[in-house]
Amino acid sequence: MDNNTKNLGLKLFRLVLIAGLAVHFAIIGLHLMPDNPIKHQYADQIRGYVYPYFGQSWKLFAPNPVNSNLSIMIQFQDYKNGKAASSQWLDICKPLIDERRNNFWSPSQRILKTFSGSVMNLLENRSKAYEYVSKEFTAKDSLKSARIVRQAIEISAGHKAILSYSRFAHNNYMGANKISPDSSFVIYRVIESKFPRFSKRDLDHFDLNNYKYSQIRTHEYRIL
């Protein structure tokens, strides 16, 4: 084999190596990039390349994994001299999430965990109340059933924790808007967005059309 053949073979090897590395890092880059149309279009191919062999069941490490995102929205109703003024719906989770992204050691992480626990407690009480009224004769009495469910929510520790934080948020809201109402009330909504379980990994977790949404809206509660 002469030197020209060796040099040609070496050049071809380098070109193939460079092309292979370019394709490899392009796919890995797409996998790590934020959500975008190209990543959506080739999601199956990218996933198949990045995770070619290992298909360990999630149940070994997380028998009850998180499968939803929770948001808490609040709206204030302020009264001054007999006149009412409503605020916009405020997401009390988003500022904490943004702060956590910028500062890993921020106490907002603990507050978010408290929110999650509060919502879970509230939903559990609500679910038990619905189960009770469905078994008892009260299921035929819609007003009584609604009253029982409302009472179950109001006695839950999660509901009380959300109202407590709403008072704190309202103080900041009054300071920012320079208002001093005679009395104030709050309504809150718990919005749950369930994303596809890992067992349905063929579905795109970033496509909001694959999410299922539900919400709970409460009555007015006085906070001032």
| Same-domain status, 31 and 95 | no
Domain end call among 33, 55, 77: 55
Scanning 51-154, the segments in alpha helix (DSSP H) are: 94-102, 108-135, 142-154
| Same-domain status, 13 and 122 | no
Which structural domain range is residue 157 located in?
Answer: 66-222
Q: What is the pTM of this model?
A: 0.66
Can you list the positions of beta strands (E) in 146-202? 183-194
Tell whether 210 is covered by a domain. yes
Tell whether 135 is covered by a domain. yes
Q: What is the number of domains present in the chain? A: 2
Helices (H) and strands (E) counted in the chain, each on its own, are 7, 6
| Same-domain status, 46 and 136 | no
Question: What own/partner pairs with CB < 8 Å and gap ≥ 24 does 110-114 have?
Answer: 111/165, 114/161
How many alpha carbons lie under 13 Å from residue 198 in its C-beta half-sphere?
12
Mean pLDDT per 10-residue segment, the chain (224 residues) = 73 90 89 78 79 56 67 94 92 89 82 89 90 74 84 92 94 90 94 75 68 86 92
Q: What is the C-alpha to C-alpha distance for residues 49 and 65, in angstroms, rounded to an integer?
A: 25
| Same-domain status, 35 and 140 | no
